[in-house]
A = this chain, B = another copy of it.
Amino acid sequence: MLRVGIVGARGFTGEELIKILMRHPGVRLTYLSATLTKPEEIGEIFPALRDVVGLKCEPFNVDKAAEKCDLLFLALPHTVSMDYVPKLLKRGKKVVDLSADYRLKNPAVYRQWYHKAHKDIKHLKAFVYGLPELYRERIKKTGCVANPGCYPTAAILGIVPALVAGFGDKDGVIIDAKSGVTGAGKKVSPEYLSVHVNENFRGYKFNMHQHSPEINQELSRATLARVDVVFCPHLLPVNRGILETIYIRLKKSVPAQQVEAVYKKFYKTEPFVRMRGLGVLPQLTDVTYTNFCDIGLVVDEKKKLLIVSSAIDNLLKGASGQAVQNMNIMYGFDERTALA
């Protein structure tokens, strides 16, 4: 029985991790911590989990965490995770980090986007970017996974086949992304008040979102070329789910069927990517509460444009579901365990 713990158990992704891990037959949840002054029943923090999870959430203690767990999920804010990781790695623990801290390989880029110098450059290289569709073999062998961001997961999965196949123009990628509010974490600020979200919709951080460099890094690695996408996120008045409409200029006119064939082949054996037929557009509710990424394609042969509609649940395939998928791969469980 694999013993796992969650650091940062009180946030949205922590809550989802608890729910998923509770139903994983190969795992025992042995440790929950959060920024608390004293231990609290998890059923007090999340009333929905009363009588379900018989575990207290306690202030973080690295020795206790190390003693109780083989693997730790870090569901911490960006720039915080890097304080915890070295201590856990030092004690020989495996980690899946859900923050952004170990995703960007270049510390200068990290500093530019997260406004803090990286404190644990030493371990940056060891971390594998936890997108199984690209790095499954490396995830199998690693002890530390940098779990991808929510926007990047939907974006990379939607774009990479077209760029790798060569017909997508790496200089002509525009991502118009829309996310539910849990994507932003549990921020108590006026713009996330119900009265400001409900019946509202808006773009934000056009061309300035910290997930841009992550998308660019991974698309560049996959294509061995410098990719620099346009990324414009928007806030949807829903709790969960991301839908990205991605416009990819084609280098030449490519028949729609050929585009579809490339995508289908790329994801043929993937358990959590579902290609929807040509012209079929996924909707949020097709993927919310699941670990799937659903992808629909529209090809305008005349205008030489591929339009990809890529949808995920930001808390599952975009965070906690993917984290468990990575754990399943690391430990040789069936990749779908607790996720389907």
Which A residues fall within an 8 A CB radius of B?
12, 23, 47-48, 50-52, 174, 176, 178, 181-182, 186, 188-190, 192-204, 206-207, 228, 230, 232, 234, 236-241, 243, 245, 247, 274, 276, 279, 281-290, 292, 294, 296, 298, 300, 303, 305, 307, 309, 340
Contacts of A239 in B (CB 8 A): 194-195, 198-199
Residues of chain B with a CB closer than 8 A to A200's CB = 238, 241, 283-285
Q: Which of B194, B201, B203, B204 contacts A193 (CB 8 A)?
A: B194
| Inter-chain contact B202/A182, CB cutoff 8 Å | no
Count copies of this chain in the complex: 4
- Is there contact, CB below 8 Å, between A176 and B237? no
> Could you tell me if B202 and A282 are in contact, using CB atoms closer than 8 angstroms?
yes
Contact of A247 among B178, B247, B300 (CB under 8 A): B247
Residues of B within 8 A of A51 (CB): 274, 292
A336 → chain B closest CB, angstroms: 9
Inter-chain contact B247/A287, CB cutoff 8 Å: no
Q: What residues on B are CB-neighbors of A47 within 8 Å?
A: 276, 282-283, 286, 294
A298 near B199: Cβ-Cβ < 8 Å: no
Complex CA–CA separation, A284 to B47 (angstroms): 11
Residue from B247, B283, B298, B300 in contact with A201 in the complex, judged by beta carbons closer than 8 Å: B283
Chain B residues within an 8 Å CB radius of A201: 178, 236, 238, 241, 243, 283-284
19 other A-B residue contacts (CB within 8 Å) besides A51-B274, A200-B283, A230-B247: A47-B276, A48-B292, A51-B292, A52-B290, A181-B194, A188-B188, A188-B193, A192-B193, A193-B194, A198-B198, A198-B238, A199-B239, A202-B284, A203-B243, A206-B307, A207-B300, A234-B243, A236-B236, A236-B237
Chain B residue contacts of A290, Cβ below 8 A: 48, 52
- What are 6 contact pairs spanning A and B, CB under 8 A? A47-B286, A186-B195, A188-B193, A199-B238, A203-B281, A204-B281
CB distance from A168 to the nearest CB of B (A): 15
Residues of B within 8 A of A340 (CB): 52
Contacts of A188 in B (CB 8 A): 188-190, 193
Inter-chain contacts of A305 with B (CB < 8 A): 230
CB distance from A18 to the nearest CB of B (A): 13
Chain B residue at smallest Cβ distance from A300: B207
Q: A307–B193 Cα gap in the complex (Å)? A: 27
Question: Contact at B286–A243, with CB atoms within 8 Å?
Answer: no
* A186 partner residues in chain B, CB cutoff 8 A: 190, 193, 195
